[in-house]
Chains A and B, each alone.
Chain A
Amino acid sequence: MNKLNFLQPDKNNLNTYLYTGVILVAFSIFIVFLNSFFNKDIVSFLPGPISFFLPLILGFIGLHLIRIDYSGYKFLESINKNINTNNFNAFLSLLIVFVVIKSLPPLLSWFIIDANIAGDSKDVCTGSGACWTYIKIWFNRFMYGMYPNPEQWRINLSFIALAFLGTIGFFATEKFKKYLTLYYVVVYPLIAFFFIFFFISGGPIFFDFSYGIIAAVISIIIGFFIPSKFKMYYFIIVPITLYILLKYVFFYEELIELGKLEALEWVETGAWGGLSLTFIVSFFCLIFCFPIGLFLSLGRRSDFPIIKYISIGMIEFWRGVPLITVLFMSSVMFPMFLPEDMFIDKLVRVIIAISLFEAAYVAEVIRGGLQALPRGQYDAAKSLGMGYWKMHILVILPQALKLVIPGIANTFLALVKDTPLIFVVGLLEIVGMLNLAKTNPEWLGFAMEGYVFASVLFFIICYAMSKYSYNLEQKYKTER
């Protein structure tokens, strides 16, 4: 063992080991760096295999030498603790560092050094790198699809307004906190719908179903302030009265004619596209699929056979068919079953289809959370005199939903990444626009840039969502 002692670093000769080790590691990194960035191999005089592995061997020995416990140097300690805990980890760390150094130059040259962004035609892209000119020229299309250029401020305005209204919850005072659920579940989606209908689509101010919507909203909002004793009657009487009032007393048909004064140019949904369509589809699908999934999951655990089997049927049906066929059906088959004079917009059909599809997944995720709760929670809630809904809203769901935040986030991310599939019905969101652009005869051969661009955008969106879900998890962590 004495022979090996000089290889076993200790504190007595701290500096000797430290300097030798650091020099060895630095030298090994230097070799790889030169090789990678300047294409020079300074150890080429050695036989092939040895020169190839030399940096790894030197670095490994170097890391071994600096693995000294309680050296007193903070930086050294943190290195030893994090990347240099044992021989195997040291080896892996070195390998990763080398691979990163090796792969940096080609990436840099493709992304930046050899890339072109100037000019406005294909001809400037002569280098071997990426042609960002392509993205620059097509940027507008990638964001807004075929939406007419002079009208694009409408999309921007709507999105900014919706983003602002979406953050209101953060500023709500204690007094208004209890209305936030009402706001986010009922009011906010409706505001979003109206923004998209009036501004992005340019629809008339009053339209055929708006008296129904207005009646429903007003009655729901008033309903929150009605004592529970009268609630049963209230929800039947008031919407119907409002409906009749609006339709026959305020002469709605005439208002609709008035509302059709065209302030904004009508842009049909077929022309929408690009990233804005990705946002619109994801947004509405996320909003709708969650409550539907919630009810399906509760329905599946219900004691009433009819509700139970309808829920099971829905879940198993939507889980059992591929999304692409669902979308295809929604666009081709579904209109056949509708009465002839009834027309539902393609985008709306797609949103309904995706929402139902994802709701089935959400339902099963939530059911997982419901089953994870101990039976005692149900017993305790019941023994305090709570009925089914009180028990679920106050006790069961807050806990179950907290448990399934990662699973829900998973489903939502999958949903966002599934949106490109709507190309099968002819709606072109960002990936669809890319596919369109890459077949443009003037811009052939830039598929790579396009896909990289889309990947980066999707990554940003999805990473933000996953971060947010992680924050939610932390926020609601009360036990353990």
Chain B
Amino acid sequence: MSDKIIQITEMNKWFGDFQVLKNINLEVEKNKKIVVCGPSGSGKSTLIRCINRLEEHQQGSIIVDGNELTEDTKDIEKIRAEVGMVFQQFNLFPHLSILDNCTLAPIWVKKMPKKDAEDLALQHLEKVQIADQANKYPGQLSGGQQQRCAIARALCMEPKIMLFDEPTSALDPEMIKEVLDAMVNLAKAGMTMIVVTHEMGFAKEVADEVIFMDEGMIVERAETKEFFANPKSDRTKLFLSQIL
């Protein structure tokens, strides 16, 4: 229990009549890095959106850091504050400067004094190497810089888990590397990460385990080396042969 930070059991989810997630069982231990891959429409994004309850599941249970996700809203905000999330479309707040984007949640959610929040934000911006852009607005930055800012923004809440929802899919090939570098550094610092991505290079480099999903089910879950060397199911083999 103690080192299992996420526990999903028998989880089912429907969008209307369509079942997107079927009988998901997943346990994630502290400090593990997990890459989720699979064809589009396989429910990867929905799965990690369920972990901080941006989507509600209908059956089964999700336990994050000892708290079960239910309808109780008061609880959910506390859990969300401990689970950082990075989106495909960055979703920075365009009306705030980069620095304000990073300090907004610490100041208003964690009630951190403004000065401390700014110091913390600059620290994290420094880590993703955009501290010099702190006073610009998101619209003035490139996609890669925006995504790194989004990572810094999530880190400013000092989360226990980081969720990445296809963080590089909306980026130019040149910018993918700078974002992946930031993520690799984060992984090396020991963060618990669940990453939905198609970047198999990244998976090979940092992931402890790889999960392959198709049609709403977890088809295969294996150690990274094992996963790439001799995948068990045929569906995984087909997917890997197409993507590599």
Chain A interface residues toward B at CB < 8 A: 228, 374, 376-377, 379-387, 390, 394-395, 398-399, 402, 476, 478-480
Identity of the chain B residue whose Cβ is nearest the Cβ of A379 in the assembled complex? B54
When distances are taken between beta carbons in the complex, the residues of chain A under 8 Å from B92 are 380
With A and B bound together, what is the CA distance between A381 and B150 in angstroms?
A: 12
When the two chains form their complex, are residues B80 and A384 in contact, meaning their CB atoms are under 8 A apart?
yes
What's the dominant secondary structure at chain B's contact region?
mixed
State the CA gap A386–B107 with chains docked (Å): 11
> Please, which residues of chain B bring their CB within 8 A of the CB of A228?
111
- CB-defined contacts of B89 to chain A, threshold 8 Å: 374, 376
Contact, CB under 8 Å: A387 / B73: yes
Structural contact, B87 and A379, CB atoms closer than 8 A: yes
19 A–B contacts, CB within 8 A, in A order: A228-B111, A374-B91, A376-B87, A379-B85, A381-B93, A383-B54, A383-B83, A384-B80, A384-B109, A384-B153, A384-B154, A385-B80, A385-B109, A387-B73, A394-B104, A394-B108, A398-B95, A478-B94, A478-B137
Compute how far the CA of A394 lies from the CA of B109 in the bound complex, rounded to whole angstroms.
11
| Cβ 8 A contact of B157, one of A382, A385, A394, A480 | A385
Select one of A379, A402, A478 contacting B139, CB under 8 A. Answer: A478
Least CB distance from B143 to A in Å reads 14
- In this complex, the interface size class of chain B, counting residues with CB under 8 Å from chain A, is 20 to 34
A479 to B137 Cα, complex, angstroms: 7
| Other A-B pairs beyond A376-B87, A380-B150, A384-B104, 9, CB < 8 Å | A374-B91, A377-B93, A379-B54, A380-B87, A380-B91, A383-B52, A383-B84, A383-B85, A402-B95
A67–chain B nearest beta-carbon distance, Å: 40
Among B49, B95, B139, contact of A476 (Cβ-Cβ < 8 Å): B95
- Min CB distance, B84 to chain A, in Å? 7
A382 touches B54 (CB 8 A): yes
Query: Which of A376, A380, A386, A402 is within 8 Å of B77, CB to CB?
Result: A386
Closest residue of chain A to B83 (Cβ to Cβ) is A383
Q: Does B81 contact A (CB under 8 A)?
A: yes
Contact A390 B93, CB 8 Å, known A379-B87, A383-B83, A478-B139: no
Scan B93-122; emit 1 where CB is below 8 A from any A CB, else 0: 111000000001100111100000000000
The docked-state distance in angstroms from the alpha carbon of A385 to that of B105 is: 7
Contact flags (1/0) for B138-175 with A, using CB distance below 8 Å? 11000000000010011001000000000000000000
Q: Does B78 contact A (CB under 8 A)?
A: yes
- A334, B157: Cα distance in complex, Å: 53
Instruction: Name which residue of chain B comes closest to A227, CB basis.
Output: B111
Please report the C-alpha to C-alpha distance between residue A479 and residue B140 in the assembled complex, in whole angstroms.
7
How many angstroms from the CA of A157 to the CA of B220 in the assembled complex?
79
Q: Are B87 and A386 in contact (CB under 8 A)?
A: no
User: Judging by beta carbons under 8 Å apart, are A399 and B94 in contact?
Assistant: yes
Contacts of B137 in A (CB 8 A): 478-479
Q: Which residues of B contact A384 (CB under 8 A)?
A: 80-81, 104-105, 109, 153-154, 157
Let me know if A390 and B108 touch, CB within 8 A: yes
Assembly CA distance A267 to B90 (angstroms): 60
- Residues of B within 8 Å of A381, CB to CB, are 93
| Whole-angstrom distance between the Cβ of B15 and the nearest chain A Cβ | 14
Residue of B with least CB distance to A380: B91
Please tell me which one of the listed residues A383, A398, A480 contacts residue B80 in the complex, with CB atoms under 8 A apart.
A383
**CA–CA, A1 and B104, complex, Å:** 70
Please determine whether B87 and A382 come into contact, CB atoms closer than 8 angstroms.
Answer: no
Please, which residues of chain B bring their CB within 8 A of the CB of A395? 93, 104
